[in-house]
A and B are shown apart, each in its own frame.
Chain A
Amino acid sequence: MMDALLEVKDLSFSYNGNSKYAVFRDINFSVNPGDIFCLLGPNGTGKSTLLKCISGLLTPCKGSIFIHNRDISRLRASQVAREMGYVPQSQVSAFPFLVEDIVVMGRAPHLNVFSAPKTEDIRIAYDSMETVGIASLAKRACTTLSGGEWQLALIARALAQKPRIMILDEPTSHLDMGNQMKILGVVQELAEKGMAVVMASHFPDHAFLLASRTAILNQGSIVRQGTPEEVITDECMCKTYGIDVKVIYVGEGVERRACFPFHRVKSQSVNKLNLQNQNITGMTGI
């Protein structure tokens, strides 16, 4: 696949530049327009570092990243930012900027150093807010937003960059179930419009929900890569997270697989649990 929109090739990174202490090594994958690539793996395994490398925020010690066969190490920061929007893990802002002020910051790569956003840029910012459904928050101070609203504001800001690739670093962390699904819905819409999405997540279920491809990063390398169904299996999840996991197909209108972490229980208590849970139905293991 030479013509992938985003291609990551033999990527290794280490904080001191010495490949012996690499955070991850020899990472290879590619993402096409409309694809959602979901990166899974335990905490501290380098998912965020990998995403920062791909976005050009960190310089890899080996390998390269190509956008349509152009090596991003040869591009200027503003050129990369026009192709790739990066949504960081939520951080609080030091100043109570208005949401519209934050979103319009996404226009920075299109403006020269001495200019400020013009009417056209503000229109684009409002379009982005409309797309993710936060136009009504435009005049709110960003310090008063809830976690989900703030995440949507950051996605809107990345959209205002008008990129073809979107990188999201755990966009659903610290969010409740409802907000998680809201964010995932927005991400899916973006992909349907032809954007290439790379997303890190804590939850294997997110891969089942929307990913077209998924990879598991563990101890510095991608141990498995493919469709969510191929990758997320009992045995693989077990190895990755060091716990017992059962992947179950849920029917009854849900029609997807889901991941269930559990404590292996002794046979005596299993009987007891079965008695208690007699009334709970609706899950059909396959």
Chain B
Amino acid sequence: MQPDKKTGLHFNTFKLQVFLVLLLACVSVAALMTGQLRIHPYEVVKIILSGIFHIEKTWSPTLESVLFDVRLPRLIAGILVGAGLSVSGASFQGLFRNPLVSPHILGVSAGAGLGAALAILFFSKIYIVQLFSFLFGLLAVLMTYSLSRVYRTTPVLMLVLSGMIVGALFSAGTSLLKYIADPVNQMPSIVFWMLGSLNNASNKDLIIAGPVMLGGIVVLLLIRWRINLLAMGEEEARSLGVETGRIRAVIIFCATVISASAVSISGIIGWIGLVIPHIGRILVGPDNKKLLPVVTLIGAIYLVIVDTIARTAIESEIPIGVLTAIAGAPIFAYLLRKNRSGW
């Protein structure tokens, strides 16, 4: 295959997708077997399948509980968060016609951060923290969207600038809360929450957040070819018969719901939504019709791997946001140097 630096390698998309699905399956089994209690991969597959088929139980209930109550929800959360953030990032990059945009550009994480800090300060119950971070994430984006509206349209530049303003406001609020928080208990919990972790992912969260995120991902995948048209610019898209205002609102809504749910489960995990779409573009080129499915899979694989490292590398858990940045920043720097002219 002739590598074309400017548009990526253009791998056969179907074969690549099959490969990535298989890779995701392998990585998932690996994630399920590793941990303080090691489980044989054969055993893992058998226990998982026993949830669907009738298989005679030859394993201890502890094993089953570890798998179904701890590792499996964490794995599913990792897959959904990784896939969701990556697909939102790729969609936003098309929408804003800028490959350096992340899903957090409209202030969703700043809002969620303030919500979580408020909840930690005044309620300190985990489900309230999740609820508040979700609601404040939505609130921040809603503020950004209404601030950017002029003459019944929402120009892209206004959206970006409004996102910065709203983000700054909410971040300042979070800093204030950190400053007045009790430095022994509350402040560390706020800081740890901000660093991101899948440690709190439980079956209960997934029942609510899972379908929401899955819905958002499916809608973005369904309209993915239209994102190409938006990437040509507002006017050109309109001249091609696209209802740009409506489709932009749909993309922003889906990406926001996905990111807000992701943040409420796992705290703020940066870099994925920025870096994974670039890796996807190198593999299949910039056409969103091919790019988005590939990006969804790579995002899921990447976060599952990173999370497995985060919880097994050392005695205590490494915050996942730190790991994604440590791994993401050099990858991104490399890509930036290599693909200076094209994306």
A residues contacting B by CB (< 8 A) are 52, 55-57, 76-82, 85-86, 88, 91, 93-98, 101-102, 105-106, 108-109, 111, 113-117, 141, 143-144, 157, 161
* A98–B223 CB distance below 8 A: no
CB B11 to nearest CB in A, in angstroms, measures 14
* A96–B342 CB distance below 8 A: yes
Contact among B6, B229, B238 with A57 in the assembled complex (CB-CB below 8 Å): B238
User: Within 8 Å CB of A143, what residues of B?
Assistant: 6, 341-342
Binds A, one of B24-32, B105-113, B175-183, B284-292: B284-292
- In this complex, how many residues of chain B approach chain A with their Cβ under 8 Å: the count is 34
CB contact under 8 A between A94 and B231, given known A81-B241, A106-B240, A113-B247: yes
Measured CA separation A133–B247 after assembly (Å): 33
Interface string of B216-240 (1 = CB under 8 A from A): 0000001111101101110110111
**Interface flag for B335 (CB, 8 Å):** no
Contact among A57, A97, A116, A144 with B286 in the assembled complex (CB-CB below 8 Å): A97
* A52–B235 CB distance below 8 A: yes
**Interface flag for B35 (CB, 8 Å):** no
**Interface flag for B7 (CB, 8 Å):** yes
Ordered by A's residue number, 25 sampled pairs between the chains whose C-beta atoms are within 8 Å are: A57-B235, A77-B243, A78-B241, A79-B241, A88-B236, A91-B236, A94-B97, A94-B231, A95-B94, A95-B97, A95-B286, A97-B7, A97-B228, A97-B287, A98-B287, A102-B232, A108-B229, A108-B240, A108-B241, A108-B242, A114-B222, A116-B224, A116-B289, A117-B225, A143-B6
Closest to B238 in A: A57
Contact among A77, A85, A88, A95 with B242 in the assembled complex (CB-CB below 8 Å): A77
**Interface flag for B41 (CB, 8 Å):** no
**Interface flag for B4 (CB, 8 Å):** yes
Closest to B343 in A: A95
Contact among A80, A116, A141 with B6 in the assembled complex (CB-CB below 8 Å): A141
**Interface flag for B99 (CB, 8 Å):** yes
Measured CA separation A86–B240 after assembly (Å): 8
User: Within 8 Å CB of A52, what residues of B?
Assistant: 235
CB contact under 8 A between A141 and B4, given known A80-B241, A81-B240, A96-B343: yes
**Interface flag for B98 (CB, 8 Å):** yes
User: Within 8 Å CB of B6, what residues of A?
Assistant: 96, 141, 143-144
CB A57 to nearest CB in B, in angstroms, measures 5
User: Within 8 Å CB of A56, what residues of B?
Assistant: 238-239
* A141–B7 CB distance below 8 A: yes
Measured CA separation A161–B242 after assembly (Å): 13
The listed residue with most B CB atoms (<10 A of its CB), out of A56, A76, A77, A117, is: A77
Closest to A102 in B: B232
Measured CA separation A91–B289 after assembly (Å): 22
User: Within 8 Å CB of B98, what residues of A?
Assistant: 94
Closest to A101 in B: B287
* B240–A141 CB distance below 8 A: no
Contact among B222, B226, B233, B342 with A91 in the assembled complex (CB-CB below 8 Å): B233
Question: 11 more A-B contacts (CB under 8 A) besides A52-B235, A95-B343, A143-B341?
Answer: A57-B235, A78-B242, A85-B239, A91-B236, A94-B98, A95-B94, A96-B6, A96-B342, A96-B343, A97-B287, A102-B232
CB contact under 8 A between A114 and B223, given known A93-B232, A95-B231, A143-B342: yes
Closest to A144 in B: B6
User: Within 8 Å CB of B287, what residues of A?
Assistant: 97-98, 101
The 8 A-B residue pairs with the shortest CB-CB distance, nearest first, are A81-B241, A109-B241, A78-B241, A86-B239, A95-B286, A116-B225, A94-B97, A141-B7
Closest to A160 in B: B240
CB contact under 8 A between A96 and B286, given known A91-B233, A105-B228, A141-B4: yes
CB A22 to nearest CB in B, in angstroms, measures 17
* A101–B228 CB distance below 8 A: yes
Measured CA separation A76–B238 after assembly (Å): 11
CB B110 to nearest CB in A, in angstroms, measures 25
Measured CA separation A143–B342 after assembly (Å): 8
CB contact under 8 A between A98 and B228, given known A57-B235, A141-B342, A143-B342: no
